[in-house]
Amino acid sequence: MKVISLTSSSPFAQMISAMLQELWGAEFAFHHLTPDSDPDALDGAALVVVDWAEGAEACSRWISSAKSHAPEAAVVLFTARDTDRRIQPDLFARVNGVIARPSALREYCALFGESFVRDGSVSGDEHADYVSAFVKAARKTFAVMCKMDLGQKSVSALDGETLPGEYSAVMRFGGRSKGWMAVSMSGDLAAAVARGMVGCTVESDDDIRDALGELINVIAGQAKAALVDTPFYFSISAPEVVTGDVSGPECFPEGTGMSVAFDVDGREIFLQAHLASNLSPE
Amino acid sequence: MPARAVTGGWNGWQVRRLVERIGDGTTISGRTGMKILVVDDSSTMRRIIINILKANGHDDFIEAADGLEGMKQLQAHPDIDMVFTDWNMPNMNGLDFLTKIRQTADATSLPVVMVTTEAEKANVVAAIKAGANNYIVKPFTPEIVKSKLEQLLNRA
């Protein structure tokens, strides 16, 4: 059986291959096609998986190519969020199926996230790959500024939930991409972070807020530098630190938001980020 | 500490004084007596920088929360020997602050170190072009600050 993934993202193609391998064993031939590939390579395919994150126009073109070159093939769209279906109902109506689960990104990172994050590679316009830039920046910043090692616990898709910590530093992005990031943690951990940064006891809530604001500023600055040659490059704004149960900045339909939980000596720090490229050209 | 020229800034006298100090064999990290202006809108970052500089033997600091306040402090304290400044700040950012410093006759050669999250090469080049004497990217270790400080003083 010939299986094709249509995406410009190599990690995405690897994920599809691995997922199918797990489901079906080794009895299929897997091909990764990119936007530059010859459409004739679709000939004879039994299953074509189209990466929704490539955008509606590319998806539409690829679905047409797949229907034309492999009329017997099952064409499916892969998306991390079922809500994407509401954005382009016509597009979704043209395919035979949709792989749409909030857990998709968790699986993605479980399969490839660690190596992906370890080498810190962020290249090309691979969707959602910006997360590795943020994770790497967060780990370095906490290690250098707070003497804290962040152990990665879990990664999940973000869907507009409440910021998970008592203290949350939030920064919004603009420029070549739009979005935001947040770092959340408990009050105890926030105080420990501030202490770690200044090397002595912090005396007030203002000190904690200032420390967290600077922390997210440094994380964002590094992520920004790592993404300079990608469509996710952004300009940063002034950080904002909020406390209590508050909603994060609004998630938007484009792109994919991610929430990464880190372990710090049995306590949790959450890094949330949602970026979408090329939405507000400079 | 000898009286400073009233014009302030990083003048030939100061340079000679520093070179003499280095020539004396005094360890750079152990030298004291420099008045250092630390400009950052984050009080946390100012404390971090000052703590590191204190650990390297410096103990005379002036703080400012943005470039505008930094300019006022430079005018009020003409004996400032060195400036550490952030880039992204309200009211007057670090690059504009640096440009202002270099436009001020008394401070054209005052050593200025940019301490910033702006890590892209283009920004480093912009800062150097604007007259920064050295550049430190956040997050930094105390060793990095010490090393940059030594580079700066050896250059002088």
Alpha-carbon dihedral angle through residues A239, A245, A248, A253, given to the nearest 10 degrees? 180
Which chain A residues are closer than 8 Å to B118 by Cβ? 221, 225
Sorted by sequence, the CB contacts under 8 Å of residue A21 that are 6+ apart come out as none
Question: Nearest-CA distance from B120 to chain A in Å?
Answer: 5
Question: In the predicted model, what is the mean pLDDT of residues A5-18?
Answer: 79
Sorted by sequence, the CB contacts under 8 Å of residue A248 that are 6+ apart come out as A158, A160, A161, A162, A163, A168, A170, A180, A182, A272
Is A210 near chain B, with CB under 8 Å? yes
Q: Which residues pair with A2 in a beta bridge?
A: A29
Interchain CB distance below 8 Å, A145 and B48 = yes
Is B91 near chain A, with CB under 8 Å? no
Sorted by sequence, the CB contacts under 8 Å of residue B38 that are 6+ apart come out as B46, B49, B50, B53, B61, B62, B63, B64, B83, B84, B85
Of B48, B116, B140, the CB nearest to A197: B48
Is A240 near chain B, with CB under 8 Å? no
- The pLDDT of residue A112 is above 60: no
Q: Give B144's pLDDT tier (boundaries 50, 70, 90).
A: very high
Residue that wins the pLDDT comparison between A250 and B8: A250
Interchain CB distance below 8 Å, A198 and B42 = no
Of A194, A217, A238, the CB nearest to B117: A217
Are A216 and A272 in contact by the 8 Å Cβ rule? The answer is no
Work out the widest C-alpha separation in chain B, in whole angstroms.
Answer: 42
Give residue-wise pLDDT tens across range B6-32. Answer: 233 334 434 444 444 434 433 333 445
A30: tokens are 């897997």
Give me the residue label for tokens 């009020």. B76
Question: In the predicted model, what is the mean pLDDT of residues A2-31?
Answer: 76
Give the per-residue pLDDT at A249. Answer: 77
Is A194 near chain B, with CB under 8 Å? yes
Give residue-wise pLDDT tens across range A125-142. Answer: 344 567 778 888 999 999
Give the per-residue pLDDT at A96. Answer: 75
Which chain B residues are closer than 8 Å to A214 by Cβ? 42, 44-45
Q: How far apart are CA B86 and CA B114, in angstroms?
A: 6
Nearest Cα to Cα of residue A124 among A48, A36, A65: A36
Question: In the predicted model, what is the mean pLDDT of residues B105-125?
Answer: 84
B89: tokens are 């700040």
Is B72 near chain A, with CB under 8 Å? no
Interchain CB distance below 8 Å, A198 and B47 = yes
Q: Give A103's pLDDT tier (boundaries 50, 70, 90).
A: low
Bin B55: left if φ > 0, else alpha if -120 < ψ < 50, else beta: alpha
Long-range contacts of A192-200 (CB under 8 A, 24+ apart): A192/A146, A192/A148, A193/A142, A193/A146, A193/A148, A194/B44, A196/A145, A196/A146, A196/A147, A196/A148, A197/A145, A197/A146, A197/B44, A197/B48, A198/B44, A198/B47, A198/B48, A198/B51, A199/B48, A199/B51
Is B55 near chain A, with CB under 8 Å? no
Is A213 near chain B, with CB under 8 Å? yes
Q: How far apart are CA A112 and CA A118, in angstroms?
A: 10
Q: What are phi and psi of B51, to 5 degrees?
A: -60, -40
Are B90 and B66 in contact by the 8 Å Cβ rule? The answer is yes
Buried b (16+ CB within 10 A) or exposed e, A48-72: bbbbbbbeeebbebbbebbbebbee
A141: tokens are 């910043």
DSSP designation for A36: T
Alpha-carbon dihedral angle through residues A182, A186, A189, A194, given to the nearest 10 degrees? 50
Question: Nearest-CA distance from A121 to chain B in Å?
Answer: 16
Q: What percent of chain B has pLDDT over 90?
A: 51
The dihedral built from the CA positions of residue A272, A278, A280 and A282, taken in this order, carries a sign that is: positive
Which chain A residues are closer than 8 Å to B45 by Cβ? 214
Give the per-residue pLDDT at A125. Answer: 33
CB pairs under 8 A between A and B: 56
Interchain CB distance below 8 Å, A144 and B139 = yes
Nearest Cα to Cα of residue A83 among A57, A52, A111, A54: A52
Pairing relationship of beta strands B112-116 and B134-137 according to DSSP bridges: parallel
Which secondary-structure segment (H or E) carries B96? helix B94-103
E-assigned strand segments in A24-159: 29-33, 47-51, 74-79, 97-100, 151-157
A74: tokens are 């099952």
Interchain CB distance below 8 Å, B118 and A214 = no
ipTM of the complex: 0.77
Question: In the predicted model, what is the mean pLDDT of residues A109-121?
Answer: 42
Q: How far apart are CA B37 and CA B111, in angstroms?
A: 11
Give residue-wise pLDDT tens across range A175-189. Answer: 878 889 999 999 999
Give me the residue label for tokens 């459409």. A39
Give the per-residue pLDDT at A29. Answer: 84
